[in-house]
C-alpha cells in the first residue's frame, strides 16, 4: 500500500516554500526538468555533505574525485553505453506520443487517458525500436567539423578511467574506493514523477576496488552499509527495503545488484542501486585504451580489481527524505504541516524570533543571537507577523529549533527554545544558546512519524 502522503502535497509544499520549481515555467515548462530554490539547494547540499562525510571523512579507505562531464567519446563505447544504454520505445503514429515498449501497461493513451496505448481503434503503434538515453553534443566551433561527444549518463566511468591516476597517489591498496558527486544526464522519456526521474540529476557514486576473492563479501557489506545510511538520516524502517535483482534484470556489467527501494507515493521504487560490477569496467577500458588498469603488488604480481558500486541520485534521495518527513497534524484545533527532517538535513537549523518585532530591545537581542549563530550554522532571523505564523512557516521548511526572545529575555537573559517535532518549549540562557543548539544537532535522531506502511 502506498503512503498517505501524496505526490501532489509534496509538489505543492516544494513550490509554496521555494524548494523546487518547474523548470522554464514562464515558457510553459520543460518535462522532467526542475529548478531548485533556496531551501532545495540547502537540503540537497546537506544530503551531499552527509553522503560525502560517511564515505570520505568517516573512513580511511575512500578518496574523492571530481571528473569531467564530457569525456572522450571512446569511453562510452568501451563502457557499453553507446551500444547498450537504451530503452525500447514505440511511437503512436496517430497521437504522436512515444512510450516505453516495456511500460505500455502503466501508460495512458494520448487520445483517451482512460485507455492504455494500443487499446483504441485509432491507436497505431510502431514496433519497438531501441532509443539511446545519452544526450549528444559537439566539441568544436563548427557543426560540420565538431567532434560528437556525450553528456555523461553516470559519474562512474569518470572514476574507472582515473583508476591509475588515483591508485598511484592514494597511498592505499585494494580494498579502497573513489567517491564522486556530480551531474548526470539521461534523455528519459517516461514520466518523471516530479524529481524522481529527471533529464539531468546529480549522482553520488562510489566505486570500491577489491581483490576478486573478496567481491561477494564487500558487496554484502555495502548493501548493509547503505541501508544503514538511509536509516541513520531518518528514513523509516517500514518505508525502506532491500530488493535483490533477478538474473534477467541484471545490467550487462553486473553479476549481482540489489536495489534499496523506498515506498514513494508512486509505490515501492528504486532509491539506490548497489552493484557488483566484477572486473567489467577496468577490463573494458584496459582493452579499449591500451592502458593497463590493474593493481600491482609489491612482489610484482598483478590483478584487475573487482568493483562494488553504491549509486544514489541526490534528487531522488531528496524526494525520499521529503516524503518521509512530510506530516500533518491538528494542534490546538489548527492543522499544522511539518517537515520532520533529520536536523542535520534541515535547510535551516534554527530560527531566531523576537516575539514583538517592533520592540527594539527584543529585536536588538535577537539580532545579536542571530549574528552569533550564523557563524556556525544556517539560521534565519524573522521578525514579521504573528509568532504563530512564523512558527508555522518554519515547521513547513523543517527548521528543528526556534529561539524566541520575549519580555523575560530582557529581565533574565533567557530565551525559549521550541522543538519542531514535540512542540516542547524550554527556557535556556541566551549565553548557552549556541552550545545548546549545536549539542542537539549532533544528538541521535529518529523520525517521530508512525513507522508503518
Binding site for ligand GAP (CB under 6 A): 154, 156, 186, 188, 197-198, 201, 203, 205, 270, 272-273, 309, 311-313, 315-316
For 191-208, letters b (16+ CB in 10 Å) and e give: bbbbbbbbbbbbbbbbbb
Least CB distance to ligand GAP at residue 115 (A): 27
User: In the complex with ligand GAP, which residue's Cβ is closer, 95 or 133?
Assistant: 133
Least CB distance to ligand GAP at residue 276 (A): 12
User: 63 has which bridge partners?
Assistant: 178
User: In the complex with ligand GAP, which residue's Cβ is closer, 286 or 315?
Assistant: 315
Least CB distance to ligand GAP at residue 196 (A): 7
For 87-119, letters b (16+ CB in 10 Å) and e give: bebbbbeebebbbbbeebeebebbeeeeebbee
Least CB distance to ligand GAP at residue 420 (A): 28
User: In the complex with ligand GAP, which residue's Cβ is closer, 205 or 406?
Assistant: 205
The C-alpha cell that represents 61 in the structure block: 579507505
User: In the complex with ligand GAP, which residue's Cβ is closer, 91 or 154?
Assistant: 154
Least CB distance to ligand GAP at residue 335 (A): 32
Residue 341 CB burial class (10 angstroms; 0-12, 13-18, ≥19): buried
3-state SS, one letter per residue, for 415-442? EEEEECCCCCEEEEEHHHHHHHHHHHHH
Q: Are 404 and 418 in contact (CB under 8 A)?
A: yes
User: In the complex with ligand GAP, which residue's Cβ is closer, 203 or 447?
Assistant: 203
Least CB distance to ligand GAP at residue 260 (A): 8
Q: Are 349 and 377 in contact (CB under 8 A)?
A: yes
User: In the complex with ligand GAP, which residue's Cβ is closer, 6 or 33?
Assistant: 33
Find the distance separating the first CA and the last CA of the chain, reported in whole Å.
7
Count helices and strands (H / E) in the chain: 13, 23
User: In the complex with ligand GAP, which residue's Cβ is closer, 272 or 406?
Assistant: 272
Q: Alpha-carbon distance 336 to 330, whole Å?
A: 6
Query: By beta-carbon distance, which residue lies closest to ligand GAP?
Result: 313
User: In the complex with ligand GAP, which residue's Cβ is closer, 236 or 316?
Assistant: 316
DSSP 217-285: HHHHHHHHHHHHHHHHTT--GGGEEEEEPPGGG--TT-SEEEEEEEEETTEEEEEEEEEEEETHHHHHH
Q: Alpha-carbon distance 177 to 291, whole Å?
A: 20
- HSE-up of residue 332 (Cα within 13 Å, Cβ side): 3
Least CB distance to ligand GAP at residue 396 (A): 25
Question: Long-range CB contacts (< 8 A, 24+ apart) of 244-253?
Answer: 251/275, 252/80, 252/84, 252/280, 253/80, 253/277, 253/278, 253/280, 253/281
Least CB distance to ligand GAP at residue 100 (A): 13
User: In the complex with ligand GAP, which residue's Cβ is closer, 88 or 118?
Assistant: 88
Least CB distance to ligand GAP at residue 316 (A): 4
**Angle subtended at Cα 273 by Cα 21 and Cα 35, rounded to the nearest 5 degrees:** 10
Least CB distance to ligand GAP at residue 453 (A): 21
User: In the complex with ligand GAP, which residue's Cβ is closer, 20 or 312?
Assistant: 312
Amino acid at each position: 500500500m502506498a503512503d498517505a502522503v501524496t505526490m501532489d502535497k509534496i509538489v505543492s509544499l516544494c513550490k509554496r516554500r521555494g524548494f523546487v520549481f518547474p523548470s522554464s515555467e514562464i515558457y510553459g515548462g520543460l518535462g522532467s526538468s526542475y529548478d531548485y530554490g533556496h531551501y532545495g539547494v540547502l537540503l540537497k547540499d546537506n544530503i551531499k555533505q552527509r553522503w560525502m562525510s560517511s564515505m570520505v571523512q568517516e573512513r580511511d579507505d575512500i578518496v574523492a574525485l571530481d571528473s569531467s562531464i564530457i569525456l572522450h567519446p571512446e569511453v562510452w563505447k568501451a563502457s557499453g553505453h553507446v551500444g547498450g544504454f537504451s530503452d525500447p520505445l514505440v511511437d503512436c503514429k496517430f497521437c504522436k506520443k512515444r512510450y516505453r515498449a516495456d511500460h505500455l501497461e502503466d501508460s495512458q493513451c494520448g487520445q483517451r487517458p482512460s485507455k492504455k496505448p494500443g487499446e483504441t481503434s485509432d491507436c497505431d503503434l510502431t514496433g519497438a525500436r531501441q532509443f539511446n538515453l545519452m544526450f549528444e553534443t559537439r566539441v568544436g566551433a563548427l557543426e560540420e567539423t565538431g567532434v560528437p561527444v556525450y553528456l555523461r549518463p553516470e559519474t562512474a566511468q569518470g572514476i574507472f578511467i582515473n583508476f591509475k591516476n588515483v591508485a598511484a597517489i592514494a597511498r592505499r591498496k585494494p580494498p579502497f574506493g573513489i567517491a564522486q558527486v556530480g551531474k548526470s544526464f539521461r534523455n528519459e522519456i517516461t514520466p518523471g514523477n516530479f524529481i524522481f526521474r529527471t533529464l539531468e540529476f546529480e549522482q553520488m557514486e562510489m566505486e570500491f576496488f577489491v581483490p576478486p576473492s573478496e567481491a561477494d563479501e564487500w558487496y554484502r557489506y555495502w548493501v548493509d552499509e547503505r541501508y544503514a545510511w538511509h536509516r541513520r538520516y531518518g528514513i523509516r524502517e517500514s518505508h525502506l527495503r532491500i530488493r535483490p535483482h533477478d538474473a534477467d534484470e541484471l545490467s550487462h556489467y553486473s553479476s549481482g545488484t540489489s536495489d534499496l527501494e523506498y515506498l514513494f507515493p508512486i509505490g515501492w521504487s528504486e532509491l539506490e542501486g548497489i552493484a557488483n560490477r566484477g572486473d567489467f569496467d577496468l577490463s573494458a577500458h584496459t582493452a579499449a585504451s591500451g592502458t593497463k588498469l590493474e593493481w600491482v603488488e609489491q612482489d610484482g604480481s598483478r590483478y584487475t580489481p573487482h568493483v562494488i558500486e553504491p549509486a544514489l541520485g541526490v534528487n531522488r534521495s531528496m524526494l525520499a527524505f521529503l516524503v518521509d518527513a512530510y506530516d500533518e497534524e491538528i494542534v490546538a484545533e489548527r492543522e499544522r504541516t511539518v517537515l520532520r527532517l533529520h536536523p542535520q538535513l534541515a535547510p535551516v537549523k534554527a530560527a531566531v524570533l523576537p516575539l514583538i518585532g517592533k520592540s527594539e530591545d527584543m529585536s536588538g537581542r535577537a539580532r545579536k543571537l542571530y549574528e552569533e549563530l550564523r557563524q556556525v550554522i544556517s539560521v534565519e532571523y524573522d521578525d514579521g507577523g504573528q509568532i504563530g505564523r512564523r512558527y508555522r512557516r518554519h515547521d513547513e521548511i523543517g527548521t528543528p529549533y526556534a529561539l524566541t526572545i520575549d519580555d523575560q529575555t530582557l529581565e533574565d537573559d533567557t530565551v525559549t527554545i521550541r522543538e519542531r517535532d514535540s512542540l516542547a518549549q524550554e527556557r535556556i540562557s541566551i549565553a548557552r544558546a549556541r552550545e545548546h543548539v549545536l549539542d542537539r544537532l549532533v544528538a541521535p535522531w529518529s523520525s517521530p512519524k508512525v513507522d508503518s506502511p
